[in-house]
Amino acid sequence: LSTSGIAQGLEVPQYVASQIVRPQGHVDEQSLYEAYRWLRDNNPLAKVEVEGYDPVWLVSKHSDIMEIERQPEIFTSGGGENPGSHNPKFHDKASDEFSRSLTGGSLRTLDSLPYMDSTEHTAVKDIANAWFRPAGLKAWEEDIRALARNSIVSLRPGANDLDFVEDFARPYPLRVIMSLFGIPPEDEPTMTKLTQDFFGIAETETLKSDDEPLSPDVVARRWNATIQDFYSYFDTFIEDRRANPRDDVATVIANARQDDGEYFPKKYAYGWFIAIATAGHDTTSSTLAGIIEQLALHPEELARFQNEPERIPDLINEGLRYVSPVKHFARQATTDYVLNGQTVKKGDRFMLLYQSANRDTDIFEEPDQFDPTRRPNKHIAFGYGPHMCIGQHLAKLELRIMLEELLPLIGSLEIIGDRQVIQTNFVGGLKKLPVRLVRK
Ligand code: HEM
């Protein structure tokens, strides 16, 4: 048995490190959670090296993640003094090399918040911060409810056999995001494709299929073509929102001005759109699918929330903790630092393992139980500190509205086939969940 970890505590077996670091390890959720538990029990802050990847510290404890996240000058997201020198997503070396080849040397494939630090990050986040607060979102509640009802319309009275993920959980958050952003319905398919291509090409490692990899030349050509299509659509869109402001988030972003009174460069608007379209989609759909799976496994919980819909927020919080669809973000140390008794070095990289933190027995009793009555529920599925998820209130609102509309219709819910999980170490969750939903 080879070992990959050298730190305090037990040496980390290669299979544990590999299970967590490699996207392939995330398909088998049971083994993944066992690997997280091994780390928390035996070496909660472990430096490991997996073939093909940079050495990395696996941060498995809730308290260590919080300590890192609250000190963004010491643990940067975007590379600190050298923007683009660090990738806030922990990819294999070949993928990072490929990103550098596309951008001319930088790991910043996109001008969006997770790649930014300090003043740039604050200024760009401030553009839409207020819009995403609960007070700002209130005005959208009825529109979102209409979209939720529209998704449910397809359910026939009696038995409906469906793949809850494809038929239900995925389309709804996408429609919400597109409509809040102000993309006209007829443009939605194009924008969805462009966004997926953009994300898919830059993130070759996290591609959600098992397709044969394409040659670098072909991929680079596709990348350039996608970017050009995307930017040209978007330039027109931005100009339109400057000339004809509306109440959508695109208007806020297109019209934002810097301290000097000039508009923000358009690259930030592109970054915002891609971040919202991608971060706001799989995350919410995975959480919804995970909650429905648990309700199918625990009919007594389904009945509880049908009878007490005012407690649906507790169900959502537990769903967020249990699923934790964002599996990690990465940070890099700008200086030597003593963390949990160990000296980490300037330049070291860290994977913040949110799924592990959300099963940490220091914080949660019986963490492997899905228990929507859990209180308090101090999960960090949305992260913590200045990079904490800007879409958290929107995600909770969307989920609440969908569950308020859907649960009363359910006569019974049964899992009728094998579940499948997305192969990724980044944003994941269920890829397939065949269910029989009998409508009352
Ligand atoms: C269940 C749903 C969601 C989960 C679990 C989730 C989780 C996260 C996490 C863990 C982070 C990183 C936080 C950190 O580094 O400390 C994040 C950042 C972010 N999320 Fe979400 N998210 C969700 C939904 C959304 C939605 C609906 C949007 C879109 C509006 C969104 C937009 C963003 C953006 C733009 C960032 C980057 C923030 C920054 O770097 O300052 N997310 N999210």
Ligand 1 centroid to residue 389 C-alpha, Å: 3
- What's the CA-to-centroid distance between 282 and ligand 1, angstroms? 11
Rounded CA separation 19/8 (Å): 20
Query: Which residues have C-beta within 8 Å of that of residue 189, sequence separation ≥ 6?
Result: none
Indicate which atom in ligand 1 lies nearest the CA of residue 114: 40
> Worst-scoring range by mean pLDDT, 61-70, 185-194, 238-247?
185-194
In the three-class reduction of DSSP (H, G, I as helix; E, B as strand; rest coil), residue 1 is classed as: coil
Q: How far is the CA of 412 from the centre of ligand 1 (A)?
A: 33
How far is the centre of ligand 1, averaged over its atoms, from the C-alpha of 278 (Å)? 10
Query: Per-residue pLDDT averaged across 224-240, rounded?
Result: 87
Digit-coded pLDDT (tens) for 8-27: 689 999 999 999 999 999 99
- Residues 121-137 have a mean pLDDT of 96
Mean pLDDT calculated for residue range 94-108: 89
| CA 171/CA 85 separation, integer angstroms | 35
Q: Which of 99-113, 222-236, 379-393 has the lowest mean pLDDT?
A: 222-236
The residue whose CA is least distant from atom 3 of ligand 1 is 283
For residue 140, the Cα-to-chain-centroid distance in whole angstroms is 22
Q: What is the pLDDT of residue 207?
A: 42
pLDDT of residue 221: 78
Separation of CA 368 and ligand 1 centre (Å): 24
Closest atom of ligand 1 to 276 CA is: 29
75-76 vs 328-333, strand pairing mode: antiparallel
What residues contact residue 99 under an 8 Å CB cut-off, 6+ apart?
Answer: 87, 91, 106, 107, 109, 202
Above 80 in pLDDT, residue 100? yes
Residue whose CA lies nearest to ligand 1 atom number 6: 382
Pick the range with the lowest mean pLDDT from 126-130, 191-195, 325-329, 411-415.
191-195
Question: Quick one: which atom of ligand 1 is closest to the CA of 121?
Answer: 41
Segment 361-372, tens digit of pLDDT: 999 999 999 999
Atom 15 of ligand 1: nearest residue by CA position: 387
Long-range contacts of residues 134-137, Cβ cutoff 8 Å, at least 24 apart = 134/393, 134/397, 137/393, 137/394, 137/397
- pLDDT attached to residue 202: 55
What DSSP string describes 324-364? Answer: -SB-EEEEEESS-EEETTEEE-TT-EEEEEHHHHTT-TTT-
**DSSP per-residue string spanning 36-63:** HHHHHHH-SEEEE--TTS--EEEE--HH
Cα separation of 77 and 330, whole Å?
7
* Res 9: pLDDT: 82
Per-residue pLDDT reduced to its tens digit, 280-297: 888 999 999 999 999 999
* Count of all residues that appear for the chain in the document: 440
**Residue matched to tokens 């397709």:** 211
Counting atoms of ligand 1 from 1, which one is nearest the CA of 180?
Answer: 30
User: What is the pLDDT, as a whole number, of residue 8?
Assistant: 65
CA of 276 to the centre of ligand 1 (A): 9
Q: How far is the CA of 279 from the centre of ligand 1 (A)?
A: 6
Separation CA 46–CA 4 (nearest Å): 10
Q: Report CA 38 to chain centroid distance, whole Å.
A: 24
Tokens standing for residue 348: 């070291």
How far, in Å, is the centroid of ligand 1 from the Cα of 77?
Answer: 14
Give the residue-averaged pLDDT of 420-435. 94
Q: Give the residue, by CA position, lying nearest to ligand 1 atom 30.
A: 391
What CA–CA distances, in Å, run from 156 to 289, 413, 435, 437?
Answer: 20, 14, 14, 10
Q: Which phi and psi angles does 373 have, rounded to 5°?
A: -90, 0
How would residue 209 be classed by pLDDT, with cut points 50, 70 and 90? very low
Q: Which of 70-84, 178-192, 207-221, 269-283 has the lowest mean pLDDT?
A: 207-221
Which residue's CA is minimally distant from atom 27 of ligand 1? 280
- 298-329 pLDDT tens trace: 999 999 999 999 999 999 999 999 999 999 99
Report the nearest atom of ligand 1 relative to the CA of 113: 40
Largest CA distance in the chain: 65
CB hemisphere CA count around 220 (13 angstroms): 12
Per-residue model confidence (pLDDT) at position 206: 41
Please report, rounded to a whole number, the percentage of residues in the chain having pLDDT higher than 90.
78
The residues lining ligand 1, judged by C-beta closer than 6 Å to any ligand atom, are: 69, 113-114, 125, 275-276, 279-280, 283-284, 287, 320, 325-326, 329, 354, 381-385, 387-391, 394-395
Residue nearest to atom 21 of ligand 1 (CA): 389
pTM confidence score: 0.94
Closest CA to 181 of 261, 111, 279: 279
Q: Ligand 1 center to residue 332 CA distance, Å?
A: 19
Q: Is the pLDDT of residue 196 over 90?
A: no
Q: What is the mean pLDDT of residues 328-332?
A: 98
Contact 77, 352 (CB under 8 A): no
Mean pLDDT of the chain: 92
Ligand 1 geometric centre to CA of 422 (Å): 18
Q: Is 248 in contact with 182 (CB distance < 8 Å)?
A: yes
> Span 226-250, mean pLDDT?
90
Please identify, by atom number, the ligand 1 atom nearest to the C-alpha of residue 125.
Answer: 41
Q: Tell which atom from ligand 1 comes closest to the C-alpha of 387.
A: 41
Q: How far, in Å, is the centroid of ligand 1 from the Cα of 25?
A: 23
Residues 323/419, Cβ–Cβ less than 8 Å? no
Rounded distance from Cα 118 to ligand 1 centre (Å): 18
Q: Which residues contact 61 (CB under 8 A, 6 or more apart)?
A: 40, 44, 45, 340, 356, 357, 360, 362
Gyration radius (Cα) of the chain, Å? 22
pLDDT band at 110 (very low <50, low <70, confident <90, very high): confident
What is the pLDDT at residue 114?
Answer: 95
Amino acid identity, residue 252?
V
Q: How far apart are CA 205 and CA 119, in angstroms?
A: 30
pLDDT on residue 220: 75
Q: What's the CA-to-centroid distance between 374 and ligand 1, angstroms?
A: 23
Question: Is residue 213 classed exposed, middle or buried when 0-12, 13-18 and 19+ CB atoms within 10 A define those classes?
Answer: exposed
With the most atoms of ligand 1 within 8 angstroms of its CB, the residue from 199, 324, 358, 382 to mutate is 382
Query: Which protein residue's CA is at the shortest distance from atom 18 of ligand 1?
Result: 389
Residue 2's pLDDT band (cuts 50, 70, 90): very low
